[in-house]
Amino acid sequence: MIDFSFTPEQIFVQKLCRDFARNEVQPVIGENDRKGFFDCNITRRMAELGILGLTIPAGYGGSGNDYISLGLACEELEYVDTSLRVVLSVHIGLNSLTLLTWGNEEQKQRFLVPQARGEKLGAFGLTEPGAGSDVVGIQSRAVKDGNHYILNGEKTWISLADVADHFLVFAWVDQEKQKRRDHSGIACFILERGRDGLTTSTIKDKLGVRAGNTGSIFMSEVRVPEENMLGRPDEGFKIALFAIDQGRYTVAAGAAGLIRACLDTAIDYSRNRMTFGKPIAEHQLIKEMIGEMAVDYEVARLMYLKAGWRKNQGIPGTRETSAAKFYACAAAERAASNAVQILGAYGFSEEYPVARFYRNAKGAQIYEGTREIHKLLQADYALGLRQDKPLRCPLPRPEVS
C-alpha cells in the first residue's frame, strides 16, 4: 500500500532545500537569469549542504536519502528556479544514480565518491545535433585501440557542459550494428574533463533556464582507457534508458514546484490587485485559472510521489515516471501561461517572476523525452504494446539514515 506520509528524514530534506533556495538563491536568481549567468557559488553551496549527494549511500560519500526525498528536493528547488533543479536532474538523476547502479567498485570509488561529496560535478552526454529521442541515431563512435577506445563525435544541449568534471557519453562501438540500427552496438563511457581532444562550449541566448549552463561536447580523437567503459560494450542503450528514467522523475517533481510557484504568485497578486471595485481574485474567470492550477499541482505531485514510491520499492515504473513527467510538464506550462495572464502587463514584464517561469516551463516539454514521445509511450502501454520488464540491474534503494 502506498503511504504518502513523509518520514522525518524526508521532511528535513524538504526544509533544507526550501530554506536554501528561498534564502540564498531567490534574491539573486532574477539578475542571474537576465545576465545568463551560471553561478558556481550556488553549486558549491549545494555541495556544502549535502544536496549533491542526496540519494547516494553514505558508503560512497552521500547522505543516503531515498527517491521521495529527491523528488521533494527537486520540487523545492524549481519553486525558485528551474536551473537549480536541473543541477540535481543531471548530476544525480542522469549521472550519479547511473554510476551507482551500473558502475563497478573501482568506478564508484574513482568517480561516484567525489560526485557525492560535491567535489566534482557530473553530466550526461547523449543528445547530438541529429539525434535526440532517436537514440540509435547518434553518430559518435568509439574505436578499440589496444587497452583504450578512441572517441569521436559531438554532443549538444548538454546541461552543465562547461562546468562538469565527469561526463557519461554514448557512442557506437560496433559499426556493423550501427548500420542495422541494432542498439546493442552502443556503449557508455566515463569521460573526465582535461583529456586531450575533449572540449566544450556554451549555448547562449536560450529561451529559458538562462541561469543554467547548457552547451556542447566535442570529442576529437579522445583516448579513453577501457576501464572507463560503464557496463558491457552492448549495454550502453540500456544504461541510457535507465538514466533517462531517473532524469524524468526529477523533471516531473520539479515541474510540480513550478506549478506551485505560479499558483502562489497568482494568488498573492489577485488578492491585492483591484479592478471594478474589488480584488480580481473575486472575478470568476480568475478563479477558474487559479482553480485549474491548484488541481494540476495536486495531481502532478501525487503522480511523482507514486513514481518515487515505486522506485523506493525497486519496482519497475517506466510507465508511471513517463506519465508523471508528461502530465506535470504540460501542467507547468499551462500554469505559467495562466499566471502571466492573471498578472496582465506585469506578467509580461520581468518585474514579477512569472515571465521567467513561462520561459522555463517550455523546455521541459522538450528535454527528457518530448511530450510527443511520452504520448506515444502512454498509448503503447494502454494498448498493451509495451510492458515494463524486470530490470537486469535493480533500481538502487538508497539508504535512509
Q: Judge whether 56 and 48 are in contact, CB under 8 Å.
A: no
Give Cβ neighbours of residue 110 (< 8 Å, ≥ 6 apart).
none
User: Residue 310 pLDDT > 80, yes or no?
Assistant: yes
CA separation for the pair 69, 71 (Å, rounded) = 5
Same domain, 154 and 35: no
Residue 368 CA to residue 250 CA, distance in Å, equals 10
Are 309 and 377 within one domain?
Answer: yes
Domain's final residue, options 236, 255, 274: 236
372 and 247 together in one domain? yes
pLDDT at 391: 55
Residue 361 sits in a domain whose CATH number is 1.20.140.10
Segment 65-82 mean pLDDT: 98
Residue 139 and residue 113 share a domain: no
pLDDT above 70 (res 11): yes
Q: Are residues 263 and 363 in the same domain?
A: yes
pLDDT band at 395 (very low <50, low <70, confident <90, very high): very low
Q: Is residue 70, in this structure, part of any structural domain at all?
A: yes
* Same-domain check for residues 255 and 334: yes
Q: Residue 392: is its pLDDT beyond 60?
A: no
DSSP 185: G
Whether the per-residue pLDDT at 1 is higher than 90: the answer is: no
pLDDT tens digits for 213-266?
999 999 999 999 999 999 999 999 999 999 999 999 999 999 999 999 999 999
> Does residue 211 share a domain with residue 110?
no
* Percent of the chain scoring above 70 in pLDDT: 97
Which domain range does residue 182 map to? 123-236
Task: Quote the CA–CA distance of 330 and 265 in Å, as a whole number.
Answer: 19
pLDDT of residue 148: 98
3-state secondary structure 306-350: HHHHHHHHCCCCHHHHHHHHHHHHHHHHHHHHHHHHHHCCCCCCC
Q: What is the greatest pairwise CA distance in the chain?
A: 80
Task: Tell me, yes or no, whether 367 and 311 share the same domain.
Answer: yes
pLDDT at residue number 16: 98
Range with lowest mean pLDDT among 23-37, 253-267, 320-334, 380-394? 380-394
Q: Looking at the domain assignment, is residue 337 inside a domain? A: yes
- 398 assigned to some structural domain: no
The reply to whether 293 falls in a domain is yes
pLDDT for 291 equals 98
Q: Please give the mean pLDDT across all residues of the chain.
A: 95
From residue 243, give the alpha-carbon distance in Å to each of 15, 76, 170, 239, 249: 27, 22, 12, 6, 10
Q: What CATH number is given to the structural domain containing 187?
A: 2.40.110.10
Q: 70 φ, ψ to 5°?
A: -60, -45
Chain position carrying cell 550494428? 177
What is the Cα–Cα distance from 81 to 363, expressed in whole angstroms?
13
The residue ranking higher by pLDDT, 314 or 340, is 340
Q: Which of 79, 94, 121 is the last residue of a domain?
A: 121
Q: In the predicted model, is pLDDT for residue 398 greater than 70? A: no
Least confident among 21-25, 116-120, 194-198, 310-314: 310-314
Report the domain count for the chain: 3
Kindly state whether residues 376 and 244 are assigned to the same domain: yes
Q: What is the rounded CA–CA span in Å between residue 189 and residue 199?
A: 16
Give the residue numbers marked as catalytic: 368
**Last residue of a domain, which of 236, 267, 289?**
236
pTM of the model: 0.96
In a domain, 179, yes or no: yes
Q: Which three cell numbers stand for residue 37?
A: 549567468
Tell whether the model's pLDDT for residue 371 goes beyond 50. Answer: yes
**280 within domain boundaries:** yes
CATH number at residue 62: 1.10.540.10
For position 400, what pLDDT does the model report?
Answer: 40
Residues 96-108 have pLDDT tens digits of: 999 999 999 999 9
Residue 142 lies in a domain: yes
Q: How confident is the model at residue 394 (pLDDT cuts 50, 70, 90)?
A: very low
pLDDT(28) > 60: yes
Q: Which triple of cell numbers denotes residue 113? A: 565518491
Does residue 226 sit in the same domain as residue 247? no
Residue 40 lies in a domain: yes
Judgement on whether residues 292 and 379 belong to the same structural domain of the protein: yes
Same structural domain, 379 and 247: yes
The per-residue pLDDT for range 100-144, each reduced to its tens digit, is: 999 999 999 999 999 999 999 999 999 999 998 999 999 999 999
Give the whole-angstrom CA distance, residue 189 versus residue 169: 5
pLDDT given at position 4: 82
